[in-house]
Amino acid sequence: MKPYSHRNIDRAKLIYNYRLSWHRRMVENAFGKHVNGFMVFLTTINLGPDKVADVLLAACCLHNYLVETNKHTYTSVHDTENTEHHAIAGASRTDPVNRYAFYL
């Protein structure tokens, strides 16, 4: 999806652009979490599209499982966002040793 041009933009289109941008950031953040947490996403996956979809679904399931079973340790590794929508760096950025610590 593409945002509207900023020339002569009305309120409804401005709101649409904001929401589109916000959702795009959330999707990019989700994929960033997968790249930080699952080494398979660091390089090109040499599988067919159906198998790549299975790998991504498995990573999503593992992510959800880790959040449920070890929420404090696992979620502290990832970046978060405060109420003003500013990023707060997680342990994976501030301490590279902790990048994969949530698997232990």
What are 45-64's pLDDT values in tens digits? 899 999 999 998 998 898 88
pLDDT band at residue 102 using 50, 70 and 90 as cut-offs: very low
d(CA 25, CA 43): 21
Q: Do residues 3 and 18 make contact, with C-beta atoms less than 8 angstroms apart?
A: no
In the chain, count H helices and then E strands. Answer: 4, 2
Residue 40 belongs to some domain of the structure: yes
Residue 4 belongs to some domain of the structure: no
Residue 92 belongs to some domain of the structure: yes
User: Phi and psi of 76, rounded to 5°?
Assistant: -70, -20
Q: What's this model's pTM, rounded to 2 decimal places?
A: 0.51
Chain centroid to Cα 68, Å, comes to 17
Residue 86 belongs to some domain of the structure: yes
Residue 51 belongs to some domain of the structure: yes
Domain region containing 48: 11-103
- Indicate the number of domains in the chain: 1
Please choose, from the candidates 86, 80, 83, 103, the residue with its C-alpha nearest in 3D space to the C-alpha of residue 94: 80
pLDDT reported for residue 74: 60
Mean pLDDT confidence for 36-52: 86
